Amino acid sequence: MLYCEAEPPPPVDKEKPAQESSETDLEIEDAEKLFTTGQRELYTEACKLVGVVPVSYFLRNMDEAFLSLNHHGLGPNGTKAIAIALVSNTTVISLDLEDNCIMEEGVLSLVEMLQENYYLQELNISNNALGLEGARIISQFLQRNSSSLLNLQLSGNDFRDESAELLCLALSANYRIREMDLSHNQFSDKGGELLGQMLSLNVGLVSLDLSWNHLCSRAAVALCNGLRANVTLKTLDLSMNGFGNDGAAALGEALRLNGSLAYVDVSANNISNEGVSKIGRGLEINESLKVLKLFLNPMSIDGAIILILSIKRNPKSQMEKLDISNVMVSEQFVKMLDGVYAVHPQLDVTYKAVQGLSVKSTFFLWTNPMKLIQSYADQQKITILDFFKSLNPAGTVKMPVGEFWKTMIQQNKVPLNRFQLRELTKRLDNKKGMVDFSQPTLEQGKTTEETMSGGLPEAAPSGDGLTHTYSAC
C-alpha cells in the first residue's frame, strides 16, 4: 500500500481496522497526522515518495478553486503525487491536467483520489494518450456513481470504438456526470451506435461534445435515434463529422420528438440542401431548440430559405440563433428574413453577406451601440445600468440572452440594427447563456473602427478562400 507522511515527526505504526481494507492506495496511513501536516508539506513528501520534482505552480496555487496544470509534463508519477495531495483537499473544485502524458497509471491515481475527495467537480484530462486501458479505468470509476465529479473532459485521447463500448456502458448507468467532452477521438460506425444506445438510457448528461470524430451516416443515424428518447441533454456538439444528408434526416426526425435539446452544432458535416430540408421539418415542430449551427456545410441560399421559413411556420419556436455564416444571400432573402423576425423577434440569423452589397464599407459607418446608449442615458440623467435594468421585468442586472435580444429589438428608446445588437450582446454575454450589464462602460464598447481594424464582423465573415475537408467516411 502506498502511504505518504511528512518526515517530522517519525511515522507511527498503526494497524488498519478490518473494515478499511477496501480503501485505495492513496490513503495516508496516519490519518491524524494528515490534518496536522500542511498540504504543501504533504505534496512535497509525496513527490519524494514517487521520485519526481515538485511542481512549483501547484505549490503556489493548491489553495485556489480553479487549478490549471496543463502542459506541465507531469507523467504518471507526477500525477500520482498530485493525486495524493488532493485526497484531503477541500478548495480545488476544477482541475486541468490536459497534455501531461499521464497515461493509464496516472488515471488510476486520479480515480482513486476521486473516491475520497468530494469537492472536485471538474476534471480535464484531455490529450493524455489514455487509449483503451485508460477508458477501462474511467468506465469502472463512472459505474460506481460515487464521486462529486460533474464535468469530465476526455478530448483527444485516441479513444476508438472499443473505448466507446466501455464508456457508453458506464454512462448508461451513471447519473452524476453532467458535462462530457469526447471530441477529437476516433469514434466511427460502431461507436455511433453505442453512443445512441447510451443517450437513450442516460439521465444525467446535459452537455456532450462529439466534434472531430468519424461519425458518418450510419453512426449519425444511430446516434440521432438515441436522441429521440433522451430527456436531459441540452447541448450537443457534432461539428466536424460526416453526417451527410442521411444523418441530417435522422437529426430532423430527432428534433421533432426531442423536447430538451437547446443547442446543436452540426457545422462541417457535408449536409447539402437535401439534408437541410429534413432538418427544417424538425424545426417546424420543435419547441426547445435555441441555437442551431450549420456553418461550413455545402448548402446554398435555397437551403437557407427552407430553414428560415421552417422557423416562421412554427409559432412555438424558441430559436434564438441560426448560424449559416458561409452562405451568400440575396436582398430577397433579407426581406423574407425581416418577415421571420416579425414573428420571432428573438431570432438572429448570421449569414456571409448580401450579394451586390459591400458589407465592409457600410459596417464602418455604424455607430458604437454603447455610445448610443450612453448618449440616451445622459439625456435622461440616468446611468447605463438604470437603462438596462428598466428593460428587464425582473429589475436585475442579468437576463437570458434570448430575452435580452427580443427586448432590445422591441424597445424604441435606443434603436439599434441587428449588427449593433449582435456586437452589444457579444460584449455583455457572460458565456453562460446570460447577459450581465452590472458594469457596462464605454470601454466595453470601443468604436467600430477600433474593433474592426482586423476585418469583417462576425455576422458577415469574408470566408474568401475558405476550404474544409470533411471527416473521412
Using pLDDT thresholds of 50, 70 and 90, give the confidence band for residue 141: very high
136-145, 169-178, 203-212, 363-372: least confidently modelled range: 363-372
Between 268 and 405, residue with greater pLDDT = 268
Is the predicted pLDDT of residue 459 greater than 80, yes or no? no
On average, the pLDDT of the chain sits at 86
Cα angle for residues 398, 259, 407 (degrees, 5° grid): 30
How far from the centroid of its chain's Cα atoms is residue 252's Cα?
22
**What are the tens digits of pLDDT across the range 342-369?**
999 999 999 998 877 655 544 544 678 8
For residues 127 and 100, the answer to whether their CB atoms sit within 8 Å is no
Average pLDDT over residues 393-418: 88
Q: Quick one: pLDDT at residue 469? A: 55
Is the predicted pLDDT of residue 458 greater than 80, yes or no? no
What's the chain's length in residues? 473
75-89, 111-125, 301-315, 440-454: least confidently modelled range: 440-454
Between 384 and 162, residue with greater pLDDT = 162
Average pLDDT over residues 131-135: 97
How many angstroms separate the Cα of 349 from the Cα of each of 207, 311, 319, 355, 367? 23, 11, 10, 16, 21
Q: Quick one: pLDDT at residue 137? A: 98
**What are the tens digits of pLDDT across the range 73-98?**
999 999 999 999 999 999 999 999 99
Q: Read off the amino acid at residue 340.
A: V
**What are the tens digits of pLDDT across the range 236-287?**
999 999 999 999 999 999 999 999 999 999 999 999 999 999 999 999 999 9
Using pLDDT thresholds of 50, 70 and 90, give the confidence band for residue 430: confident
Q: Quick one: pLDDT at residue 394? A: 87
3-state secondary structure (DSSP) of residue 122: strand
Between 264 and 372, residue with greater pLDDT = 264
Nearest of 332, 366, 331 to residue 457 by alpha carbon:
366
How many angstroms separate the Cα of 405 from the Cα of each of 81, 367, 386, 430, 460? 49, 18, 17, 14, 19
- Strands 434-436 and 398-400 come out as antiparallel
Specify burial of residue 160 (Cβ count, 10 A radius: 0-12, 13-18, 19+): middle
Torsion of CA 196, 198, 200, 201, to 10 degrees: 170
